[in-house]
Amino acid sequence: MDDHDSPPTPKGSLRKFLEQLSGAGKAIGVLTSGGDAQGMNAAVRAVVRMGIYVGAKVYFIYEGYQGMVDGGSNIVEADWESVSSILQVGGTIIGSARCKDFRSREGRLKAACNLVQLGITSLCVIGGDGSLTGAHIFQTEWSGLLGELARDGKITTEQVQKHGHLNVVGMVGSIDNDFCGTDMTIGTDSALHRIIEVVDAIMTTAQSHQRTFVLEVMGRHCGYLALVSALACGADWVFLPESPPEEGWQENMCVKLSENRARKKRLNIIIVAEGAIDTQNKPITSEQIKELVVTQLGYDTRVTILGHVQRGGTPSAFDRILASRMGVEAVVALLEASPETPACVVSLSGNQAVRLPLMECVQMTQEVQKAMDERRFKDAVQLRGRSFESNLNTYKRLAIKLPDSEIPNSNCNVGVVNVGAPAAGMNAAVRAAVRVGISEGHKMFAVYDGFEGFAKGQIKEIGWGDVGGWTGQGGSILGTKRTLPGKYLEDIAAQMRTHSINALLIIGGFEAYLGLLELLAAREKHEEFCVPMVMVPATVSNNVPGSDFSIGADTALNTITDAFRSLLELSKKRDSHPEFCIPVCMVPATISNNVPGTDLSIGCDTCLNVIVEVRSSRLLKETTRQGSHRVCLSHSRRTGTGTCWMFQGE
């Protein structure tokens, strides 16, 4: 096969690692099962292309386990082009179904026979806990199933010996994020986007009419979607199955709503998980909450049930990247597996794709439901994981102001300043910092217009209610500038003395990082800077050292994703060449390459030599020759002008 017929080769240590893997002679089956989730197609694409790259055959298994049982045209070999242009497609292109036949041994016998006939002994299952449990049962029964098939004459003894073991790897595709062992499941982030889009739309009409809205979100018996959407939009109240409200919640909720209206807030948002219960395990319904608010407070109240809109739409950037990373890891796990390797599930821990024993995670997931049934709600929250517990505690701290008698005394005055270019999420960070600081008894001071405003004395004490409604607003309400503090050090020190500021929180990008270093270097001359100083990374460029993610980067990636989608719809047999306004750092260009599936990505620090140019041009020509309706390239703003050859016609 010629160079221009080959898929692009990864570089550096990853390439060396992959060169040691070989899938020659192996066949991998990939299927999606259970409820669909945005990002499943990205996972399928990653499995197919990674499998092909290492030399394995990869087969689509259409319609989940039902297709495996039925066989025939439901199991088809995939090629590189068969997964082209599917990253942006919601749902799953290979279909999904809940299969009763597979639950019986007879059905699993048929499935095993169909797989053996094609030599498939590696299975990648994308679905929820039920689908993954089925895969585990299938693996444990595999040798027995093959023995029975051989006795019945449906397969040969040679086939039994050659395909005597089945390796299984799972990826969790579920919008509910109800699987223990992983921080996020494929589809959850996209579902949250749908919810927040609805909340943002509802807020405008709610403010106009001073209404209360009760939003019911999906999740079955898991409250993750309700909890995180409540945290993201600053909801007044949230109902979760894992953490039911205490006795007397009706009165407490009405007091909270009326207090917020007294602060001149024109709307109230209440979010309800579809499986919400009270401490006696009795359901709490949206209509019940509406009736309570209308009866007790007389507010104009409406109920909105989001339903399956949360499953629809295109996947978010996060889900596309997460699914792609998990798909690659799943193939590596299958290639490294031995006959004794138990089924595993690819999970997300921190920012790393890890492998965990499948059944341990399934059993832990089932233990959550058992804890809720037995009303051990604290255990249920802990079993959901540290992320869920942390989000719950954060929501409580930010949504409910403690009585003055319960707030500790503190002599700390904290200044909050935004530095650098605006980034989505800056205002949410300021809101969180202000409310947590007030809860700890500190005085919080807003510094307007960055270090310049700091030097000019644009400083004002900010209260709990002052940051209400900031969560969903873009940009920087405090104002922000790229100016570094170097030439204002004396003035800033004087302002810190005047306002008795003895702690500083800087929210911003690389300029904030450099500014903090300048303040640290000036401590010898200005004792005012000898105070605790903390920086929170917030920049679309995601280029702050020591941080995997910066506030604003995810929103920027989603904006890039939307731009790509519009461009791809417009491009018919035409090259699309988007240029992103991202200074210096190439991270957004390279990351966003994985979001729409661009054919080539070039960053400002990419070294383009003649060989790379020739290989790249061949790749683009081959892409169009094989029937692609567009070639998509991305490059950072400061990429050298030498890349113009790519856009010259022949």
Q: Out of 36, 129, 176, 449, which one is annotated catalytic?
A: 176
Q: Chain-centre distance of CA 204, in angstroms?
A: 26
Output b/e per residue, 2-22; b: 16+ Cβ within 10 A.
eeeeeeeeeeeeeeeebeeee
- Distance (Å, whole) CA 91 – CA 39: 7
Report residue 629: phi and psi, to 5°.
-85, -5
3-state helix vs strand vs coil in the chain, percent to 5: 50, 15, 35
Q: Is the Cβ–Cβ distance between 41 and 313 less than 8 Å?
A: no
Which DSSP category does 509 fall into? S
- Distance (Å, whole) CA 101 – CA 84: 32
The single residue listed with the structure tokens 């079955």 is 220
Q: Is the Cβ–Cβ distance between 612 and 337 less than 8 Å?
A: no
Q: How is residue 451 written in tokens?
A: 């270090």
User: What sections of 222-351 are H helices per DSSP?
Assistant: 224-233, 249-262, 286-297, 317-336
Nearest to 319 by CA among 36, 509, 545: 36
| Radius of gyration, CA atoms only, the chain | 28
- Distance (Å, whole) CA 242 – CA 286: 17
Bridging pattern class, strands 212-217 and 268-273: parallel
Q: How is residue 74 written in tokens?
A: 């439901």
SS3 state of residue 595: coil
- Distance (Å, whole) CA 608 – CA 601: 12
SS3 state of residue 41: helix
Report residue 634: phi and psi, to 5°.
-135, 145
Q: Is 5 a catalytic residue?
A: no
Q: Is the Cβ–Cβ distance between 359 and 136 less than 8 Å?
A: yes
The single residue listed with the structure tokens 């989608």 is 565
- Distance (Å, whole) CA 33 – CA 99: 9
- Give burial (CB, 10 Å; 0-12/13-18/19+) of 257: buried
Catalytic residues, which ones? Answer: 176
